[in-house]
Amino acid sequence: MKKKKLLTLVPIFLTISLFLSGCVQRTKSGKPYGIIYDHLAIPTQHIIDWLSNLLGGNGNSYGWAIIAITFIVRLVLMPVMLSQSKKATIQQEKMSSIRPQLAKIQKRQKEAQTQEEKAAVSQDMMALYKQNNISMTGGIGCLPLLIQMPIFAALYAAIQYSDLLSKSSFYGINLGHRSFTFVVLTFLIYALQGWLSLQGIPEEQKKQMSSMMIASPVMLAVMTYIAPAGLGLYFFVGGIFACLQTLLINRMRPQIKKRIEKEMKKNPPKEITPTVPTNKKATITSTSNEHAKKMHANNRKRNSGKQKRN
């Protein structure tokens, strides 16, 4: 399960990186063009210019304009993000109810030696999740991140290809250049968010989620490293909203836990019958046939002995 979550994040991270770095071309004179630039970057530049003027038009106004955009985007996405976080929390609580069965399957998984045995264990694990209505990915969805991809691309292109934006600064940080300050801040804020998400859950689940706690901040820090500081500012402020969102979910967790416990009392976790690997079935069948043949031979010997006596 832990590996599945990591495998879900990696392709998304690579897709965003390619999406940000491509799709904008330049003419021989150096003028940018393309779908991303024409339909996303230019409108975004106009919005940032308008917000900058609205916020005073001083040296730091472009940074505050990016913060305002982040606030609007996060506010719009907040219901979706809270809904997904709530689903993930429900899945975590449900996991606690099947933990004894899961421990047995994991033990069999470690002891499995043949491909047939490994396939049988995987089949049992999938059946356990399915019959108890538990998501294999833990309820974590990628929709909020996918929705933000056009915004990432728009901000990246708007800052990268606008002379005014690329030369602007925010409290001494050039928004058009790479900023190690925002790389560090982004890593720290998402590490804090990961730590907050581990509060109030069982120790066993904490161990399983620890790798996610490291992977997510590292990936976002790398994205901040390859992007201009303006986009790094967007990531950092977004991380602050992510922390607030996690605090809200943590306050809701006791209520969710009580509700899941009531549901589990009414509908106890369904137990599954372990699948017998194909090779073991063949061995059992072969042993049974041999036993039957021996029994048949013994019966024939007894019958022939009786006939001789008669």
- Dig out the tokens for 89 from the structure: 């929390």
Task: Return the sign of the alpha-carbon dihedral for residues 234, 237, 239, 242.
Answer: negative
Percent of the chain at pLDDT exceeding 70? 72
The per-residue pLDDT for 184 is 95
C-beta of residue 200 within 8 angstroms of C-beta of residue 250: yes
Least reliable range by pLDDT among 20-34, 86-100, 287-301: 287-301
Rounded to an integer, what distance in angstroms lies between the CA atom of residue 214 and that of residue 291?
56
Phi/psi for 269 (5° steps) reads -55, 135
Higher pLDDT, 46 or 213: 46
C-beta of residue 247 within 8 angstroms of C-beta of residue 196: yes
Residue 140 in this model has a pLDDT that exceeds 70:
no
Most confident of 16-25, 270-279, 281-290: 270-279
The per-residue pLDDT for 87 is 81
Rounded to an integer, what distance in angstroms lies between the CA atom of residue 13 and that of residue 8?
9
pTM summary value: 0.72
Could you state, in order of their start, the residue ranges of all structural domains in the chain? 32-266
Average pLDDT of the residues in 49-70: 88
- Dig out the tokens for 72 from the structure: 């609007």
pLDDT in tens, 203-249: 766 776 777 778 888 888 988 898 889 989 999 999 999 899 889 88
